Amino acid sequence: MVKYRRSHSSKNSSFNVGFTLVEMLVVLVILAMTTGLLASALPIVWQSFAKLEQKQLNQSVNLAAKWFRRSIQGALLYHPDNAVFNGTASKLSMITNAPLDDSTNIPSYITWEIKSQSFARSGIQQSKVIYDLWYRNQHTQTVIKVHTFNAPAYFNYIVDNEWQSTFTPKKAMLPEAVSIMVEQSNPTDGSSTIWLLATPINPVNVEIPPEMILFGQYEF
């Protein structure tokens, strides 16, 4: 009798370790419901990430435009015979009281430059070229990559109500406006669009004091 009871107890114990058919069906139903919920939620999650990324991109573009516009608005002139604002299609330099890395409004000599760089793409023979907008403060030695364009970008200047690709005056003067032009992605006529237009607040020409006309010199 003792031996029979032990054997019967062992059988019951081994039987209780497994799952019944009903329990397996319940587990499968719960797993299917969980998988369905995850599958339906993934598109919403990806859409949220895409919106967040686009928002961050827009904020980055707006910040870059704000920095560039403020620096141009604060452009200054010094001695009438010294041209401190010079610009080409890829680089411009000036003295401004609104450098982006200094909120004290201390005049600083800064440069904006557009540099191109290319890198190979896997599986594609043609390399991709991007155009980075760089800022440099000669006084603080601050160097910042402000923005990246996926199409050719360059500076343009308005002088005497006309667009020019360079601005290299022989005397102190400012352009009437400065723009960053970006070529269209698939141009049919080589046209470009104005990405940003900025205008100086200060007079574009130096105001000559009457003393200089009378005495031939003036202490600036």
Nearest to 93 by CA among 138, 148, 132: 138
Query: Rounded to whole angstroms, how far apart are CA atoms 177 and 182?
Result: 16
**Helix segments in 21-174, DSSP class H:** 21-73
Residues in the chain: 220
101's CB contacts (< 8 A; 6+ apart) are 135, 137, 140, 142, 144
Specify the residue for token string 């600036």.
Answer: 220
Token pair, residue 65, equals: 């435009």
Question: What's the pLDDT score for residue 217?
Answer: 59
The conformation of residue 90, written as its DSSP 8-state character, comes to S
Report which secondary-structure segment, H or E, holds 16: helix 2-16
Mean pLDDT of 22-30: 80
Share of the chain above pLDDT 70, in %: 70
Query: Rounded to whole angstroms, how far apart are CA atoms 215 and 220?
Result: 14
Specify the residue for token string 């910042």.
Answer: 144
Give the start-to-end residue ranges of the domains of the chain: 66-198
73's CB contacts (< 8 A; 6+ apart) are 98, 198, 199, 200, 201
Mean pLDDT of 100-107: 83
Mean pLDDT of 191-219: 77
Q: What angle do CA 118, 122, 126 make, to 5 degrees?
A: 50
Going along the chain, which residue ranges are E strands? Answer: 86-87, 91-96, 108-121, 124-137, 142-149, 153-159, 162-164, 177-183, 192-198
Mean pLDDT of 196-210: 84
The answer to whether 117 and 132 have CB atoms below 8 angstroms apart is yes
User: Residue 80 — very low, low, confident or very high, per pLDDT cuts 50/70/90?
Assistant: confident
Mean pLDDT of 199-214: 77
Beta bridge partners of 134: 113, 145
Q: pTM for the whole thing?
A: 0.67
Give me the chain's average pLDDT, please.
Answer: 79
- Using left for φ > 0, alpha for ψ between -120 and 50, and beta otherwise, residue 69 falls in alpha
Q: pLDDT at residue 16 above 70?
A: no
CB atoms near residue 65 (< 10 Å):
17
pLDDT tens readout for residues 138-164: 888 889 999 999 999 999 999 999 999
Question: What's the pLDDT score for residue 68?
Answer: 94
Share of the chain above pLDDT 90, in %: 40
Question: What's the pLDDT score for residue 7?
Answer: 46
Question: What's the pLDDT score for residue 4?
Answer: 44
